[in-house]
């Protein structure tokens, strides 16, 4: 059970307790039976919620308490939780009882987790839900969240492959490279609005990836021709953010879809390079948000992700709403990434790419993929 889900149910019970007692008090008042002592008792035993999520913020590695940043870490204030509680009432009760909800699905928290901490693969695709309350900076776009396993691959597979993998693979989400001048697979033979529509209808969740201009100090030589111009970083980010929103819309991805900016590994220790990269990312984020989409960010954990976390701790505005970090050769985790404090992008805002360039075959269809563990916003169709 997640801390967020537990807290939402707690706030719901508080609100329900208060409502019951207020109705009782009103009834007693009307019959002339209400005494001052009743009010005192009713107020005294209502539990007081903590000031923030997970006991007012998780302890950071340096021993300090990390303050809650409501721009990117909105997981726990009473006002937010009570707003969510009204919509989540049926699911919260079902989670407490371990019963199915009205649509026949067992709630996420009530299911027995597998070794990754998520429900089984057959259930994961049904756990995508609108979750605007988890993203206050992006509340207007009402993101859709997916929890489970996914993969990304350079070329969007054909529909026959997607059907075969849907039937027999453990994956229920797929990353698609829908735009950007630095894409390795520039010609996407299969990626059309019809492909997006049919794949989504078949039960897949989509993770749209935009490979735009790269950091001036990008480490991969194949990305050198696409580096950000430090003198024009903000203008480039603005232009490419608008292009990303336009390309997503052309594929039928609605406002509220998450669009992930792919920034390959770079040396963020170089101040001039880091500053230009951050200016580009923030401008891209602002433009994507202005057009009704949610900006996400993919990079190597030890370069781009560490850089974004440093900016978050400094209180920088216009940061991504979701983080997709690549750290290969370790167990998949959404809670124990070393460069991120526990409170950083903690509410349905993380993807871990834990293995890369592996070949898998399902239903006679072979693909080279990267593997991902996901609890984050996806495309809306």
Lowest mean pLDDT segment, chosen from 161-165, 218-222, 345-349 = 218-222
Q: What are the pLDDT digits (tens) for 355-367?
A: 999 999 999 999 9
- The mean pLDDT of 156-168, rounded to a whole number, is 98
Residue bearing the bigger pLDDT, 133 or 300: 300
Apex 252 CA angle, 247 and 255, nearest 5? 80
The token pair at 128 is: 């995508």
How many other C-beta atoms are found inside a 10 Å radius of the C-beta of residue 244? 26
To 10 degrees, what angle do helices 271-290 and 233-250 make? 40
Q: d(Cα 330, Cα 327) in Å, to the nearest integer?
A: 7
Dihedral (C-alpha) 328, 330, 333, 337: value to the nearest 10 degrees? -80
Q: What are the pLDDT digits (tens) for 104-150?
A: 222 222 233 333 444 334 334 345 566 655 565 665 667 899 999 99
Among 205, 124, 151, which Cα is nearest to 367's?
A: 151
CATH architecture of the domain covering 118-378:
Alpha-Beta Barrel (3.20)
- 341 and 349 Cβ atoms separated by less than 8 Å: no
- The mean pLDDT of 19-45, rounded to a whole number, is 33
Q: What are the pLDDT digits (tens) for 192-227?
A: 999 999 999 999 999 999 999 999 999 988 898 999
At 138 the pLDDT is 60
Q: d(Cα 23, Cα 44) in Å, to the nearest integer?
A: 17
> 231: pLDDT confidence band, cut at 50, 70 and 90?
very high
Among 122, 99, 118, which Cα is nearest to 110's?
A: 99
* Pairing verdict, β 365-378 and 350-362: antiparallel
271 CB-contact burial (10 Å; exposed 0-12 / middle 13-18 / buried 19+): exposed
- The mean pLDDT of 66-75, rounded to a whole number, is 36
Query: Does position 246 have pLDDT exceeding 90, yes or no?
Result: yes
- The mean pLDDT of 259-273, rounded to a whole number, is 97
- The mean pLDDT of 329-339, rounded to a whole number, is 97
Give me the helices (H) in the chain, please: 3-30, 36-44, 53-56, 78-97, 121-124, 159-168, 193-201, 233-250, 271-290, 306-313
Q: d(Cα 140, Cα 345) in Å, to the nearest integer?
A: 18
Share of residues in the chain with pLDDT > 90 (%)? 61
- The mean pLDDT of 144-172, rounded to a whole number, is 98
> 15: pLDDT confidence band, cut at 50, 70 and 90?
very low
Strand partners, 326: 300, 353
Strand partners, 130: 144
- 149 and 121 Cβ atoms separated by less than 8 Å: yes
> 330: pLDDT confidence band, cut at 50, 70 and 90?
very high
Residue 380, CA distances (Å) to 80, 112, 192, 235, 368 in order = 23, 27, 15, 28, 26
């Amino acid at each position: 059970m997640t801390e967020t889900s537990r807290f939402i149910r707690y706030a719901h019970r508080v609100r329900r307790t208060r409502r019951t007692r207020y109705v009782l008090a009103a009834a007693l008042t009307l019959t002339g039976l209400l005494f001052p002592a009743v009010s005192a008792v009713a107020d005294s035993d209502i539990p007081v919620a903590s000031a923030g999520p997970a006991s007012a913020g998780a302890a950071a590695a340096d021993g300090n308490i990390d303050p809650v940043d409501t721009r990117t870490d909105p997981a726990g204030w009473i006002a937010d939780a009570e707003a969510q509680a009204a919509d989540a009432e049926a699911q919260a009760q079902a989670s407490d009882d371990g019963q199915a909800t009205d649509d026949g699905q067992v709630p996420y928290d009530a299911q027995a987790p597998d070794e990754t901490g998520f429900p089984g693969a057959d259930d994961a695709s049904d756990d995508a839900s609108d979750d605007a309350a988890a993203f206050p900076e992006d509340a207007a776009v009402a993101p859709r969240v997916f929890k489970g396993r996914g993969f990304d691959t350079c070329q969007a597979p054909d529909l026959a492959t997607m059907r075969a993998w849907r039937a027999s693979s453990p994956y229920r989400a797929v990353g698609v490279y829908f735009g950007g001048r630095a894409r390795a697979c520039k010609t996407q033979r299969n990626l059309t609005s019809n492909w997006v529509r049919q794949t989504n209808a078949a039960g897949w969740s989509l993770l749209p990836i935009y490979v735009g201009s790269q950091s001036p100090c990008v480490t991969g030589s194949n990305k050198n021709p696409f580096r950000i111009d430090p003198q024009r970083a903000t203008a480039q980010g603005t232009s490419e953010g608008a292009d990303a929103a336009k390309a997503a819309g052309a594929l039928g991805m609605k406002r509220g879809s998450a669009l992930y900016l792919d920034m390959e590994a770079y040396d963020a220790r170089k101040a001039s390079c880091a500053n230009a990269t951050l200016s580009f990312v923030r401008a891209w984020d602002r433009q994507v948000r202005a057009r009704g989409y949610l900006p996400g960010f993919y990079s190597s954990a030890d370069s781009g992700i560490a850089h974004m976390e440093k900016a978050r701790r400094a209180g920088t505005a216009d940061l991504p709403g979701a983080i997709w970090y690549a750290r290969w050769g370790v167990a998949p985790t959404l809670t124990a990434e070393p460069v991120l404090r526990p409170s950083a992008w903690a509410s349905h805002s993380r993807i871990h790419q834990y293995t890369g360039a592996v070949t898998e075959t399902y239903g006679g269809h072979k693909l080279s993929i990267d593997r991902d563990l996901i609890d984050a916003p996806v495309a809306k169709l």
